[in-house]
Structure formats: structure tokens, C-alpha cells
Chains A and B, each alone.
Chain A
Amino acid sequence: MTSAPQTSGSNNAGKSRDKNAFAPQIQVFEPHRASLPPLIPYLREFWRRRVFASELAKFTDKAEYLDSKLGKVWLVLNPLLLAMIYYLLVTVLKGGKHNNGITTLAHILIGLFTFYFAQTCITSGAQSITSGGRLILNQAFPRALLPYSSSISAFQQFLPTIPVYIFVIIIGKLMYPATQVPGITWHFIWVPFIVALVGITGFGLALAFATMNVYFRDTNKLLQYFMRIWLYLSPILWQPEMLHGWHRAVLYLNPLGPTLSATSHIWIDGLAPNLAEWIGMLSWALLSIVLGGYFFISRERDFAVRI
């Protein structure tokens, strides 16, 4: 370690920081412009403390639902009831001749559950920094762990909705034996991948909005309207097949469009995602995690000053 004066931000400073960051004992804190800290040590620290994120998710859920036994039930009941309302709305608007009513319900249900997974990642992740006050002021750790924890929590809330979906469909099939439901096919092995891509997309967007929320405290409020509009623009209350020609751009310009389309195809038709859906899903996941991550990590050292 040289003690020669270094101009901040020079190559020299960058190098010495890199070198030291690998020796966990010596840490150097220097001024930063809006630039990335050394990424490899950052990610390693992030990975090393990932248990913190999952425990935080567990404990926060515990604290939140400690008092009400119904708490966890509400998490499932809420989207379920909403789905019923939307279902009634859609079938009434269509004029009542719903020969494939259960299919429509299935499409709305699984779409809404998936969308809510992403929405919870984004909205609670967006608040995680501004509401993390004391933790952020008093402990140094990779801040991305907080939105990550929100995503874990969102995933844990999403999981029980799958059996609920299956249950509702089985009931529907029993009541209307004519309904088309897919049997068990191999294509269901794609489901975890799709869910993971939803999670990654949601986490990436959460990183972006969490950063924005530090600078503009009303981001959260705007986000609520934004999510509502996003819901209507997504193929949940309507079928992706309704779009033709260049209108299909609406589907692929939506970060969740390809995923929701693929989800519906798998769960309802038992079909694997097509190539366009794969490309769409992977691109959106990659784009949001890279851009959101860059935006967040390059600014996170600023958070403590602005909270």
C-alpha cells in the first residue's frame, strides 16, 4: 500500500482498490463518481451474504403475519378474488356466451398470479431501500441484498398460488367435463425456468425503481398507477392470440408480455414456449437485470447520504 497522494478516480486509485478488495482485511474507501465499484468483489460479497436476504425475507414475513393467522391466507385469497372479479367482468362483457368459461378463468388466474409475482418483486423491492433506513445508515453491505430479499419474499408468496390454480382447474374440470385441460406433459419442466425469468425480470426492475425511489420519493405512488396500466396492457384479461401482425409488438415491448404468453400456453394448452417467446423472455430478463443492476450498483454508495 503506497501512501503517495492519488488523484481520485485516476487509474492508479482504481488499481489499488482492486488489489485490496481481494484481501478482505484491508479496505480502502475513496470518493466515487457515478461509476461501478469493482464488480467481482461486490458480487462475491453479495453471494456470501445471500443468507441474510433470505432470512430477512423470512423474518419480515413472520413479523408481518405474526398477529393474524389469516395473514398468509389473504395472500392467496386476494389474487383469487380479484381473478374472480375480472373473470365475471370479462365474461359479462363478452355477452355471456362463454362456451370455454373455465379456460378463460384459467388464463386469467395463472396470468394474474404470475403478474402479481413480478408486481410484488417490483413494488416491495422499490421500497426496500427507503424503508431500510437504519440498516443502511449503520451497516455496510451490498445494498442490492435488500431488493433481493423482497424478491425472495415475493417468490414465497407466489409459490402457494400454483396449487390453488391447479385446485381451481380440477374443480372446473369436474363441474364442466367438456373443458379442455392439458394432461401432464413434459413441457411442464419449462415452468421453473419461466418463473425464474419472471423473478429475474422483476428483481432487475425492482433495482431500477428502488434507486429512483431514493431520488424521487413519489416513485412508489406513481408505480401503483404504472402497475395498473401495465396489468391491462398485459395478455391477462385478453388472449395473446388476439393480436395480429404489427400489433404483436405490444406483446414483445412489454417486459412481461412474452413470459405471460408462454405461461398461458404451458398451463392451458400444454405447449412449450415458442422461439419468439424464448427470445423475448431471455432478452427482457437480461436487459432488466443488467440495466437495473448498473443503475443501482453505480449509485448505491450515495444512498446513505440521501436517506
Chain B
Amino acid sequence: MPDDLAIRIEDLSIKYKINVDTKRTLKNAVMRASKGERVRMRTVEAVKHLTLDVPHGSVLGIVGANGAGKSTLMRSIAGILPPTEGRIIVNGKISTLLALGVGFNPALSGRDNIILGGLASGLSREEIESKTDQIAEFADLPDGFIDMPVRTYSSGMYGRVAFSVAVNMTPDILLLDEALSAGDASFKEKSFTRMRELCEEARTIVIVSHALATISELCDTAIWMHKGNMLAKGKPEEIVDQYLKFLDVGTLPSNFEDM
């Protein structure tokens, strides 16, 4: 892999196998076996033969309709979902903020959760403790909420803490999936600034967002995913334009038909 690449994706396909009929229990398995039935499985191909290079220091935006496979792609880059086919090579330390929220334990305080999250991502105790104040300060929750249980947070407060953890881990590669949706205007401003800083330090960012303005403002490349395929890649403004047109008309542009 060339040195200037942060992420290289080669012919990546990811399939989910979904058990259509029943809950996956031993009881059902035995019942089925005794009746001689087979499990009906449906395969969803969430990402199809995707090839993509992301150079160091670039900001890549991903747009696409619901179910296009964006989150799936992000999870596989983070090493959480193994590819079904193809290969992903990642050069650098990854920090993620993915769609389903962080693995926060709602009964614990924000601060405890920050420490746990840092330890899970491989930091040492000292490293994360030295960062905790900085993270708490960046999240800037009102009235000492940082030491209250996370279950008492509003969704924006939750999002703030999660985002602060992700950007303050000094990652080489930052994966953000719908990360900025819950923050208010002032926090959004602050997070944009922080992300620009990260870019200047030649760190790589991949953003998935339905807020198209965010994509055109922050990214220097964008891709459009549709039903697992990468339909287009190029300047963010152009991709966003094409995508908006598609949303208006509801049909794919004619030059994409054979995809």
C-alpha cells in the first residue's frame, strides 16, 4: 500500500445473513430439526464490490439513502464487521463515533463512561485520565452534568460527550457516522473547528451525514452510495447536487442505470 494512503478498500463486499422465520433459540433449532425443516435465511448484501482509496489528511463524505450501506461500510473500516469478500487495509489509529451511539453505560456518569471508552479503545489508565478533563471541558455540559448518570442526559448532551471522546483520542483516522446531528448550533461550530484542526494535523476523517451542508462544507471528496454500490465519487458539491437531484426525481440518472 502506498504510504500516503490511510485507508485502502479493495473489492469489498459485506453480507448480512438474516434468519427470517423465528428467534434464534436452541428450542426452535431442535423443533425445526425434529420436523426436518431448514432455517430460512435471507442474505442482505449491504456493500457490493466497493473499491476506494482514502489518502492521509483528507476528509471523505459519504451520502446515500437509508439502508444504502453507509454504516456497514464504516463498521468494517473500524474492524468491527469482517468483510465477506475483499480486503480493507487501514494505516493508523482509528477512533469511531458510529450511528448506534457509543457503548455508554446509562447508569454510570459521563466521566466514568469516558474512562471506560478510552480503556476499551486501548489507551492506558494514565493516558485516559490525563485526557478526561480535556474531554469533559470540550463537551462543556451545563451544571456539572458530566458527573451525573448518562441516563439523565438529553440526546444532545449525550452526543456532545460522545463526540468529544471521539475527537480527543488523537486518532489518525476518525470515523463519524451521523455524529453531528444532535448538537446545537454553537456546539456544531465548535466541532467543525475541531475537525478542521484535525485535518491540518494530517489526520483523516470519514463522515457519514444526512446533513448535506455538512458534507459540502467539511469534505474534500465525497461518494454517493446507493443500495451497496458506490454510484459516484468526486467533489462534494457535485455529488451532493447529483444526490439531491436523485432525491427530487426519485430515479437514478441515466448514466448510472447499468450499475
- 0/1 string, B102-120, CB within 8 A of A gives 1: 1111011000100111011
Complex Cα spacing A138 to B117, Å:
10
Cβ-based interface call for B253 (8 A): no
CB distance from B145 to the nearest CB of A (A): 17
- Judging by beta carbons under 8 Å apart, are B83 and A1 in contact? no
Complex Cα spacing A135 to B86, Å:
25
- Judging by beta carbons under 8 Å apart, are A51 and B82 in contact? no
CB distance from A14 to the nearest CB of B (A): 13
- 0/1 string, A27-40, CB within 8 A of B gives 1: 11111100000000
CB distance from A146 to the nearest CB of B (A): 10
The interface-forming segment of A89-97, A121-129, A210-218, A264-272 is: A210-218
- 0/1 string, B4-46, CB within 8 A of A gives 1: 0000101100001100000111110100000000000000000
- Judging by beta carbons under 8 Å apart, are A216 and B16 in contact? no
- Judging by beta carbons under 8 Å apart, are B120 and A25 in contact? no
Count of A interface residues, CB-CB < 8 Å:
48
- Judging by beta carbons under 8 Å apart, are A1 and B108 in contact? no
Cβ-based interface call for B75 (8 A): yes
- Judging by beta carbons under 8 Å apart, are A139 and B120 in contact? yes
CB distance from B83 to the nearest CB of A (A): 5
Complex Cα spacing A27 to B94, Å:
10
Cβ-based interface call for B144 (8 A): no
- Judging by beta carbons under 8 Å apart, are B88 and A138 in contact? no
- Judging by beta carbons under 8 Å apart, are A3 and B92 in contact? no
**Contact residue range for chain B?**
35 or more
- Judging by beta carbons under 8 Å apart, are B112 and A59 in contact? yes
Complex Cα spacing A25 to B1, Å:
13
Complex Cα spacing A145 to B87, Å:
26
A30: chain B residues at CB < 8 Å are 82-83, 87-88
A32 (CB) vs chain B CBs: closest residue: B82
B75: chain A residues at CB < 8 Å are 137-138, 304
Would A56 and B90 be within 8 Å (CB), given that A31-B82, A138-B80, A219-B26 are in contact?
no
Cβ-based interface call for A69 (8 A): no
A138: chain B residues at CB < 8 Å are 75, 78, 80, 96, 98, 100-103
- Judging by beta carbons under 8 Å apart, are A139 and B121 in contact? yes
Cβ-based interface call for A49 (8 A): yes
CB distance from A245 to the nearest CB of B (A): 36
Cβ-based interface call for B216 (8 A): no
Binding site for B on A (CB under 8 A): 1, 3, 5-6, 8, 25-32, 45, 48-49, 51-52, 55-56, 59-60, 62-64, 66, 132-141, 145, 215-219, 222, 301-302, 304-306
Going nearest first, the 6 A-B pairs with the smallest beta carbon separation are A135-B103, A63-B107, A52-B119, A218-B25, A140-B79, A216-B26
Binding site for A on B (CB under 8 A): 1, 8, 10-11, 16-17, 23-27, 29, 75-76, 78-94, 96, 98, 100-105, 107-108, 112, 115-117, 119-122, 124-125, 172
